[in-house]
Chains A and B, each alone.
Chain A
């Protein structure tokens, strides 16, 4: 159901909803960037829609709401274990179309890939998603190439235009709250083209895995993992078992984000690491994003948000890597014929 309402009205509704939901949206954290006087736009709690950064792409994705960067799973003593409590409130998350597609990738990994991940599920079940439109494509976005520029799989779409607010609600609670508001036909803003166009190769032959192509990345990548941490579809984590220092027999287990670019990712018991070459790490990530995941789940993992290209301190372009890979695949097919 579509409505036209006012900012005051919608803020009042969210203030009401905040009794049962924590509201998360991309926010500007002034001066929190990598360098002096550079801001970070990342997810944080809001109480008023004016706190949302609509004009720019967030540097980090919404994934930290459903997959906290560091999440305590359970506490243990000698013989007992207690699961960490789930947050009492549910969550409302403002996000763009590409990220909403990213949510499906996370769902696939955590809910549909063998055993259900209860820690993810208990957060996911209580989360509502509100689409933010995109009037223009941002730098490095290639959602159109990945087919993620539109989504109607939202609980609501909200567009703030000065004091006027357009809403398209798929959520009964919101419909009830908006009863009496002017009805309107509301279509989410979405882009039809990006400056960055990416062509993903249909399949990548195994022979290219050791191609010299990857060596260039081995020389450039510094294994910082930023490209993974900003990515809405990177879902890897690792475990930390902590023994409280005053009482070495009690402690907690938590999981934290992991990155296939960062040292330690392939470390096994005994200390052996099987992928030390950074070029091979790049190969592994790229293949995971646009090849392996699709073979297993039918869609590409990457949703084309371009955040990895936005963030890489060494100016490594993932998008350009796929395009170069595509050329390489086409050339190698030609050679075979």
Chain B
């Protein structure tokens, strides 16, 4: 006879499934990058305790279905080397994941591989994971290398989109206009020609780096610092699915980490404890408190770079079914 505490099971990153007596184990992979040596370990869990199948989750984790609730301890033991290798913060070693609320931090493939990426998305995702996991609050954070937004940060609570500030060395420019054409056809048409030299409309420029990629003489190069666009409170779901809106443009890594951490304080303070399962989604909390109140909490102690543009107020759209 099974006598289970489902709340504890869910916090341990196991699912209550539709099959009586069976659970599924979720393995988080921050930044979406793992070494191949971990795959046989995952395979072993699926074949020994699961039904031999592995589901690839949208957040870049693995989900192993068909595990008996009675095998959770044994599975936790097998998860340990994976947790260690992926450097996941863990409160009680040997007991699997100690929270599941704050979801796996996902990232597009980033500058390890992608020519468009402006930074190493995996590294930033791992850094964020270190800062905010484990936590029971339901936060979704994702990192994308450039404005193409392949990871779809616009559907997250926090989306971080890489930006570079193109540096122009006019004495290396031959006026071939490869940058102008690239920006016009592939980006936002922020470049124009004046007296054979290139002028960048800094208000339009989204920092995608197409100009840098396409310049044949290195007249355009990247800024030594990477900047980020921080977009907030995108979501899917039943009531009001919507895309995340810009909050900061040309923000720094430190500012973003601080804002995300501050948001945990905000949520802890305002969350509706009476909500089903004690769970209320951040976006809906902000809808209740108003953006101004959220901003006060979020910006507490945040130091902004001189370049950073703060969008205020933010209005979210989306579809309203409620």
A residues contacting B by CB (< 8 A) are 29, 31-37, 40, 42, 60, 68-70, 224-226, 229, 238, 240, 242-243, 245, 256-259, 262, 264
Contact = CB atoms under 8 A, between A and B. Distances in A.
A36 B222 contact: yes
B214 A224 contact: yes
A42 to B, nearest CB: 7
A262 B177 CA distance: 10
Nearest to A258: B174
Interface residues of B, number: 29
Contacts of A259: 176, 216
B216 A36 contact: no
Interface stretch (B16-24, B110-118, B254-262): B110-118
Contact of B175 (A31, A33, A42, A256): A256
30 contacts: A29-B218, A32-B221, A33-B218, A34-B213, A35-B111, A36-B118, A36-B120, A36-B164, A40-B221, A69-B217, A69-B219, A70-B170, A70-B171, A70-B173, A70-B174, A224-B214, A225-B176, A225-B216, A226-B216, A229-B216, A229-B217, A238-B174, A240-B196, A242-B195, A243-B195, A256-B196, A257-B174, A258-B174, A259-B216, A264-B176
B216 A69 contact: no
B78 interface: no
A120 to B, nearest CB: 17
B277 to A, nearest CB: 42
A238 B218 CA distance: 19
Nearest to B110: A36
Given A40-B221, A262-B178, A264-B176, 10 more contacts: A29-B221, A32-B221, A36-B222, A60-B218, A69-B217, A240-B175, A256-B173, A256-B175, A257-B217, A258-B174
B176 A262 contact: yes
Nearest to B219: A69
Contacts of A256: 173-175, 196
Contact of A35 (B172, B194, B213): B213
A240 B240 CA distance: 56
B128 interface: no
Interface of B is mostly: loop
A215 to B, nearest CB: 24
Contacts of B119: 36
Contacts of A29: 218, 221
B172 A32 contact: no
A229 B173 CA distance: 11
B148 to A, nearest CB: 14
Interface in B162-203: 164, 170-176, 178, 194-196
Contacts of A258: 174
Interface of B: 111, 115, 117-120, 164, 170-176, 178, 194-196, 209, 212-214, 216-219, 221-222, 224
A164 to B, nearest CB: 34
A258 B174 CA distance: 7
Interface centre among B111, B178, B194 (most CB of A within 10 A): B178
Contact of A42 (B117, B213, B218, B222): B218
Interface centre among B164, B172, B173, B174 (most CB of A within 10 A): B174
Nearest to B215: A34
A89 to B, nearest CB: 17
B253 to A, nearest CB: 15
A70 B115 contact: no
B217 A224 contact: no
Contacts of A36: 111, 117-120, 164, 209, 222
A34 B221 CA distance: 8
B224 A31 contact: yes
B60 to A, nearest CB: 21
B195 A34 contact: no
Contacts of B117: 36
A42 B21 CA distance: 65
Contact of A68 (B164, B171, B195): B171
A40 B218 contact: yes
A33 B195 CA distance: 26
A31 B222 contact: yes
Nearest to B224: A31
A36 B113 CA distance: 10
